[in-house]
Amino acid sequence: ETAVFQTPNYHVTQVGNEVSFNCKQTLGHDTMYWYKQDSKKLLKIMFSYNNKQLIVNETVPRRFSPQSSDKAHLNLRIKSVEPEDSAVYLCASSSGLGGSYEQYFGPGTRLTVL
Q: Report CA-CA distances (Å) from 72 to 6, 43, 44, 77, 89.
A: 12, 22, 21, 17, 17
**Cα distance between residue 94 and residue 76, in whole Å:** 18
Binder among 19, 25, 29, 33 for other proteins (CB under 8 A): 33
Beta carbon nearer to other proteins, 44 or 63 = 44
Taking CB under 8 A as the criterion, the residue among 2, 39, 40, 70 binding other proteins is 40
The answer to whether 39 contacts other proteins (rule: CB under 8 A) is: no
Nearest to 70 by CA among 103, 101, 26, 7: 26
Q: By CB under 8 A, is residue 95 in contact with other proteins?
A: no
Which of 3, 15 has the CB closer to other proteins?
3
Closest Cα partner for 60 from 31, 82, 41? 82
Footprint of other proteins on this chain (CB under 8 A)? 31, 33, 40-45, 48, 55-56, 58, 88, 90, 92, 94, 97-108
